[in-house]
Amino acid sequence: MTTFPDDKHVTVEDADAGRRLDVVLARALPDVSRARLQALIRAGAVMRPDGLTIEGPNSRVKPGEHYLIRVPEAVAPVPVGEAIALSIVHEDRAVIVIDKPAGLVVHPAAGHATGTLVNALIAHCGDSLSGIGGVRRPGIVHRLDKDTSGLMVIAKTDAAHQSLSAQFAAHGADGRLERGYAALVWGIPTPPAGRVETFLGRKANDRTRMAVVRQDHGRHAATRYHVAETYPASHPERSPAPTALVRCTLETGRTHQVRVHLAHLGHPLLGDATYATGYKTRIPKLGATAQSALKALARQALHAELLVFEHPTSAKSLRFISALPPDIADLRAALERGD
């Protein structure tokens, strides 16, 4: 019989009598995901010494039964590692937190087969990854748009991937996760603090864009916001186009959620080429320095500045804050001065 370094042995305890096999194995082997165990059972990699056939993941176990779980070594990922510089905020055996720069795509896809965050992570820590789902790859549990900068957490182990996935699925409802964004917007939202709750779906005539849609055409989305700063307060004669710094907290995690919700309020992001197209006429009303800073920004003024999550291993709450990157900070300063 072929053996592997990660082979596991599990004996069924009395308290587990009658439970599903995949459930019992998942409880006994917290470092291996239940989905991975189900795949191993179906592949014939889980066996009993008595030779009796295991019908499937939902087979019921009996006390004292012994199971051998043959866990093959994780295979190499399809994406290749690339030496791409990363701004690492925190790293340990379970997770890595990075401050993603604008312009970096998170995952390989059509048009971006290389040069992504996943390629960079494989090069940086590929040897320490534990084989999430049987493939030695980083566990991406959330994403940022290519042109959105800020904090991301990535799982390095199967167990960490399970924990973080559950936290992001709950979107902070259980108190473990918090995600905050800083955004520079056109106009000043009224009231200065509130909550946007809609359903979001892809536009029928443009699948690259999201829109507020009817309930049966989209997914529930909720965002809390508050106006942190307004500009310009001192020189309206120089820059008559009001703008603001708005901070948003996610209650859900939908594609383009912050961008669409702020546009829905009538206050789209500065620099957003997708959702602020009707606001180009306001650009000449900004001060000359602000116009130059906005042109240099060349992206939406959105930054994921706050990330709080429960560490998958220690259960300790970790909190990270990222300062505005230079391009957004320069624009904010120019707006504040009214230049």
8 A C-beta contact, residue 185 and residue 275? no
Residue 145 falls in the annotated catalytic set: yes
Q: Which residues contact 107 (CB under 8 A, 6 or more apart)?
A: 116, 117, 118, 140, 143
CA distances from 137 to 108, 162, 200, 272 (A): 12, 14, 30, 32
Sign of dihedral through CA atoms 258, 261, 267, 270?
positive
Instruction: Give the H/E segment covering residue 292.
Output: helix 288-297
- Alpha-carbon gap, residue 144 to 132, rounded angstroms: 21
- Alpha-carbon gap, residue 289 to 281, rounded angstroms: 17
Q: Which residues pair with 269 in a beta bridge?
A: 185
- What is the pairing mode between strands 302-310 and 149-155? parallel
Tokens of 122: 């494989």
Sign of dihedral through CA atoms 279, 104, 101, 176?
positive
- Alpha-carbon gap, residue 198 to 115, rounded angstroms: 34
| Maximum CA extent, the chain | 86
- Alpha-carbon gap, residue 156 to 92, rounded angstroms: 9
Return the SS3 of 134: coil
Catalytic-role residue among 16, 145, 330, 339: 145
Could you list the active site residues?
A: 145
